[in-house]
Amino acid sequence: MRPGIKLFVGNVPEEATAEELSELFSGAAGPVLGIALMKQFAFVHLRDEAAAARAITQLNGHQLHGRRIVVEPSRPRPTNTCKIFVGNVSAACTSGELRSLFQQYGTVVECDVVKGTGPSGRSELLHNGLQWELGRL
């Protein structure tokens, strides 16, 4: 685990690089201790609360490659939950449809469909204490 304050950066364009994010955040908030860049989101580690507050104030809603990024404090996953991946989901499937499908088994804490990662897209679902494998919708 990196020291400092961890921020979540959402709606990151695919063409964005870790170097580009590092320059953006260091210009707004000071030294960047580390960056973990995934598809469409990233985690940026800054030195302290003051640096994190500056980054949030200056960069939340900032246009990056035509997309407005979301910058907010990273929140830990609620206890007694697990995150599961559901693959082979139709690109037309919405997070609301997945939520409805899984709600019958327990409380869905978070549900995101991440599109454009393969021929059929993919989804990630955070579900309270259950693991499910979904063949097709």
Question: pLDDT digit string (tens) for 50-88?
Answer: 999 999 999 999 999 999 999 999 988 767 777 777 778
Please indicate, yes or no, whether residues 94 and 63 belong to a single structural domain of this protein: no
CATH code of 23's domain = 3.30.70.330
* CA distance between the termini of the chain: 37
If one compares 120 and 112, the residue with the highest pLDDT of the two is 112
Residue 121 has pLDDT above 80, yes or no: no
Q: Which amino acid is at 37?
A: L
Please indicate, yes or no, whether residues 13 and 45 belong to a single structural domain of this protein: yes
| Cβ 54 vs Cβ 28: under 8 Å | yes
Residue 4 has pLDDT above 80, yes or no: yes
Please indicate, yes or no, whether residues 14 and 57 belong to a single structural domain of this protein: yes
Residue at which a domain ends, from 57, 73, 89 = 73
- 119, with CB counted inside 10 A (0-12, 13-18, 19+), is exposed
Please indicate, yes or no, whether residues 86 and 69 belong to a single structural domain of this protein: no
User: Does any domain span residue 39?
Assistant: yes
Q: Which positions ≥6 away from 43 have C-beta within 8 Å?
A: 6, 7, 8, 9, 35, 36, 74
If one compares 123 and 99, the residue with the highest pLDDT of the two is 99
Question: Whole-angstrom Cα distance, residue 134 to residue 137?
Answer: 8
| Cβ 96 vs Cβ 118: under 8 Å | no
Task: For 16-52, write each residue's pLDDT tens digit.
Answer: 999 999 999 999 999 999 999 998 899 999 999 999 9
Question: Sorting pLDDT into bands at 50, 70 and 90, what band is 2?
Answer: low
| Range list of H helices, the chain | 18-29, 49-59, 95-103
